[in-house]
Amino acid sequence: MFGLAKKDTTLFIAVALIALCAPFILNPFPDNSTLAQFNAGYPDLMAQFVIFGIFAMGFNILFGLTGYLSFGHAAFLGVGSYSMVWMFKLLSYNVLPGLILAVIVSGLFAWLIGYISLRRSGIYFSILTLAFAEMTYRIAFSDLMGRFLGIIVTNGETGLQVYSIDPQVLLGYTGIQAPHFFGFEMGSSLVLNIGNWAFTFNFGFYFCAAIFIVLFFLTIRIFRSPFGLMLRSVKSNQQRMNYTGVNSKPYTMAAFIISGMYTGLAGGLLAAMDPLAGSERMFWTESGAVVLMTILGGAGTLLGPVLGAGFIKYFENIFSKINDNVLHSWFAFLPDGMENFMVTIIHPFVGKGWHLTLGVMFMLIVIFLPGGLVEGGQRISRLFRRNKPKTDAKPAVEPAE
């Protein structure tokens, strides 16, 4: 299918179906159930799953294939967001011009940073990317770019947003005062009620999911292409490549630019769902988060970064909302003393302490599953295949009577 091998085609179809059926898959519990706390079928959260999946896929093209660990990818996320909001301010709320600008500007920005950073490798490359990202964050946060020559560029710590005084020269053609795609508003939703379940189908989510599916297909083609093989060679032994007369710099530069463009597109989609851009999207914690996503899911694999992104975003948005009242409702059937004891034990791992739970799970996965969640799935698959009863093979030649 589309030039993919059978295994890759199966994976692509499975990922596409999961993305399209997310409103059903992420709402397994009835709304009136005590377990409804764990439902994640909200439009904003579903959009974050696919947007940060794009972010992690782009980072994986650089880190997973070449082994170059960037600690500054959040800079491209912020650049993409600012580009999108500037298109909202100048033209209209149509997201298409903003996404195009986000990809172009983030690609140029990646070329600039990569041109300098890729002169070094290893920890020196990582520190250089971190330094560039921190400088970008400080410039966006400061008043220097907040108002440069009287023009609001990033609006400093307040962040960039659309005002009524902005020109928006094409706004009159539609008159829609919200992000949209040729008239289809990103925030428009259709709710389907089936029994005690309410499934929300949001246009913005499906728009982001469609882009995610296209980019996942493109990522598969990159992984299986001769270009992808060259990137794996860089990760395997770059010095040996140079000794054989192969110049690896153009390949690493191309991987860095492609990775930056993926990330810029993700930043643009974040602004498309919420027309705001702030310097916090460039902060070093965002760069660290995508590193965790990729390693947690499985660096160098196709599905791993997407799994890692969904895993961390689920914890961030679901486990962080579990408070003491929710815990007491769960253990209300126990005697008071036992109920309070269970709440006291679990309290540090939920709510504001969700990072502790994520940290423990990340530590266990790194120790016992160095290949991430993908390796865990492969081990389970091998276990089931091993336990599957084998049918007796027929002899090649029938025995003589």
What CATH number is attached to the domain comprising 119? 1.10.3470
Output the pLDDT for position 287.
92
Output the pLDDT for position 11.
94
Output the pLDDT for position 254.
96
pLDDT digits (tens, 9 = 90+) for 285-321: 899 999 999 999 999 999 999 999 999 999 888 888 8
382 occurs within a structural domain = no
319 occurs within a structural domain = no
Domain membership of residue 222 as a residue range: 6-283
Cα distance between residue 244 and residue 166, in whole Å: 56
Cα distance between residue 401 and residue 393, in whole Å: 20
Task: Pick out the chain residues at pLDDT < 70.
Answer: 1-2, 143-151, 387-401
114 occurs within a structural domain = yes
pTM, 2 dp: 0.92
228 occurs within a structural domain = yes
Which one-letter amino acid corresponds to residue 136?
T
367 occurs within a structural domain = no
389 occurs within a structural domain = no
Output the pLDDT for position 394.
53
Q: How many domains is the chain partitioned into structurally? A: 1
Output the pLDDT for position 271.
95
Query: Which string of DSSP letters, residue by residue, matches 72-119?
Result: -THHHHHHHHHHHHHHHHHT-SBHHHHHHHHHHHHHHHHHHHHHHHTT
Distances (CA, A) of 38 to 21, 22, 200: 17, 14, 16
Output the pLDDT for position 318.
83
Output the pLDDT for position 386.
75
Give the tokens for residue 161.
């947003």
Output the pLDDT for position 61.
96
19 occurs within a structural domain = yes
262 occurs within a structural domain = yes
